[in-house]
Amino acid sequence: MKIFSKLAILRNWLVLKNVGAWKATWLFAPITIWFSYRPLISLGRNETMHFELSVVLIYILILALMGLSKIWHGRHKLVKNKAAWLTNTFVIWNLISLLWTENLTRGILTCGIVGILWLIFLATIVEKEKMRKILPALVKIFIASAVVMCVLAWVQMIGGIWLSQSETLLCNGCVAAQFGFVRPNVFTIEPQFFGNILLVPILILLWQSLEKKANWRMNLVFIFLVSTLFLTLSRGAIFAFGLGAVVLLILQVKFWRQVLFGVGLIVSGFILALVCQGVTAVINPNFSETFSGAVNKSLNHLSMGIIDLRGSEGEDLSQAQNIKTDVNDKKYFNEEIEISKQAQEDKQNNEKIAETEKIIEINSSETKNEPQLDGYVEESTNVRLKMSEVALKAWAKNPQTIAFGVGVGGAGSAMNEVSDGEIGSREIVQNEFIEILLENGLVGGVIFLGMIFGLFYATRREKFCWAIIAAFLVQWNFFSGYPNALHIYLIFIVMFAYFNYKNRKE
């Protein structure tokens, strides 16, 4: 009986009545999207791709199959729906491009994911009146699940100080060996995808705060979520949040007190994250790092090397750290010490003394496991830019490719060919817009942009949604592909169905 009473309380909190099976399945979306990488069912790989199944991929397949009956019963509505025709065109164009794709296997699987999302979209349009009733529940579940995942992120960050990478589920670029502190990714493949999922609940809470619809508890939740976002140190996710926040602040610019309050909440979350990064770096027994050093690394990386609190001394230290020395060679190390002692007796060699002591200091610190990265990782930016450059080169190869692309799923193979094998066939463009342009050509690119403009139009009377759309569009410049970012499409589907119905009932 207690279980049923608790279920009744939960149902009342979510404001749900007479929820059908399909709508009830939708309520699991805000939970399953966090499991975009782990647990993972690996089915092997070939020279061009990995074959993997994640929780969220299995979930959307179930949701799509359950929606087939909805689509059939609402087929007459869909025939008259312009949005349905636009998405139909994109799906059909993807299928047609299989005829000339350079990677048929990957193309078929990509079309499968596009087709699943398409079926969910059609079913949601048919049931948009009912979907409108469960949106408040979806938002509440999303925020609650975000809090839980952020708690796990902090546990992962603290646990990563003492536990191994396999025990904490950290990705290779997340471990403390990189910056001296852990970057949480929880159940996603890397921090930027975890941060990307956090964008929607954070922006919703910020909007509620700006409209004075949030109490002090929700404001504390907002600070907690924002601080976790900054802990990821993902520039893509953080820059996307920055743009989304700016959009919301502009919409409320007339109420300057609330705007200042919102900015204060964001700054509080940022400071909390910096403190956490500094403290966890100091207490980590495996690496030698100071509080200020960890904070500087975070600021330096986020600012793309612009902010450096160390000043000229930091630049000298960075240059000294680039000196390649064999710290295991005791003979070399002792010789350097002797040189240093002799130099101290010679007043005319002060510059040589300073240089030698610095080398000794670096050698000594390396034996204490210095973090591998000293701030802004320029290579991360350069790799993305190079991928985009090669992809555009492959796209501009000939007029046919410009117009029709290399075919869905063929981006990796096309880049591999253009780069003479320098870029592997498994690689992705890491820019969604350029990848769509490369695979689908100008024809597919125009259709894709048409769907985005349609989403903006559908939410024209609820402009706070533009902050969410803009945030996702920004981060699409940092990654590409479907499996790790399925939540974006589910969120867009719900937004379109809800606000299109609210603005214009058919």
Q: How confident is the model at residue 2 (pLDDT cuts 50, 70, 90)?
A: low
Distance CA 281, CA 294 (A): 6
Distance CA 477, CA 340 (A): 51
The tens digit of pLDDT for each residue in 411-457 reads 999 999 998 888 888 888 989 999 999 999 999 999 999 999 999 98
Q: How confident is the model at residue 370 (pLDDT cuts 50, 70, 90)?
A: confident
Under 8 Å CB-to-CB from 312, ≥6 apart: which residues?
Answer: none
Distance CA 61, CA 55 (A): 10
Other residues' Cβ atoms within 10 Å of the Cβ of residue 371? 21
Exposure string of 402-425, with b = 16+ CB inside 10 Å and e = fewer, is eebbbbbbbbbbbbbbbbeeebeb
Burial class (CB in 10 A: 0-12, 13-18, 19+), 322: exposed
pLDDT score at 469: 95
pLDDT for 324 beyond 50: no
CA-CA distances (angstroms) from residue 296 to 160, 299, 301, 304?
Answer: 20, 5, 8, 12
Q: How confident is the model at residue 481 (pLDDT cuts 50, 70, 90)?
A: confident
Q: What is the DSSP letter of 386?
A: H
Q: How confident is the model at residue 502 (pLDDT cuts 50, 70, 90)?
A: low
Helix (H) or strand (E) holding 469: helix 464-475
Q: What stretches of 7-145 adopt beta strand conformation (E)? A: 40-45, 50-54
CA-CA distances (angstroms) from residue 199 to 135, 160, 301, 389?
Answer: 17, 24, 20, 28
Q: How confident is the model at residue 405 (pLDDT cuts 50, 70, 90)?
A: very high
Question: Which residue type occupies 335?
Answer: E
CA atoms within 13 A on the CB side of 322: 6
Token code pair at residue 98: 């299989």
What phi and psi, each to the nearest 5 degrees, are found at residue 40? -130, 135
Q: What is the DSSP letter of 80?
A: T
pLDDT score at 428: 87
Question: In this predicted model, which residue has the larger pLDDT, 267 or 21?
Answer: 267
Distance CA 240, CA 236 (A): 6
DSSP structure string for 416-441: HHHTTTSS-TT---S-HHHHHHHHHH
Question: Cα 77 to the chain's mean position, in Å?
Answer: 36
pLDDT for 274 beyond 50: yes
Residues 373/297, Cβ–Cβ less than 8 Å: yes
Report the sign of the C-alpha dihedral through residues 171, 174, 176, 182, in that order. negative
Distance CA 215, CA 401 (A): 54
Distance CA 182, CA 178 (A): 8
pLDDT for 343 beyond 60: no
Contacts for 321-328: CB closer than 8 Å, 24+ residues apart: 321/362, 321/370, 321/374, 323/359, 323/362, 325/359, 325/362, 325/363, 325/366, 327/363, 327/366, 327/367
Pure H helices in 98-127? 104-126
pLDDT score at 309: 81
- Domain limits of the chain? 18-136+387-503, 142-302, 311-366
pLDDT score at 367: 47
Q: How confident is the model at residue 77 (pLDDT cuts 50, 70, 90)?
A: confident
Distance CA 78, CA 67 (A): 14
pLDDT for 334 beyond 70: no
Helix (H) or strand (E) holding 236: helix 235-251
pLDDT score at 338: 42
The torsion region of residue 430 among left (phi > 0), alpha (psi -120 to 50) and beta comes to left
pLDDT for 64 beyond 80: yes
Residues 175/182, Cβ–Cβ less than 8 Å: yes
Strands 40-45 and 50-54: antiparallel
What phi and psi, each to the nearest 5 degrees, are found at residue 7? -65, -35
Distance CA 305, CA 296 (A): 10
Task: Give the rounded percent of residues in the chain with a pLDDT score beyond 70.
Answer: 83
The tens digit of pLDDT for each residue in 242-264 reads 999 999 999 888 888 889 999 99
- Using CA atoms in the order 354, 355, 360, 363, what is the torsion angle rounded to 10 degrees? 140
| pLDDT (mean) for 257-273 | 94
Distance CA 327, CA 336 (A): 11
Distance CA 88, CA 79 (A): 11
The torsion region of residue 421 among left (phi > 0), alpha (psi -120 to 50) and beta comes to left
Q: How many residues does the chain have?
A: 506
CA 186-191-194 angle, 5° bins: 60
Token code pair at residue 435: 């990848």
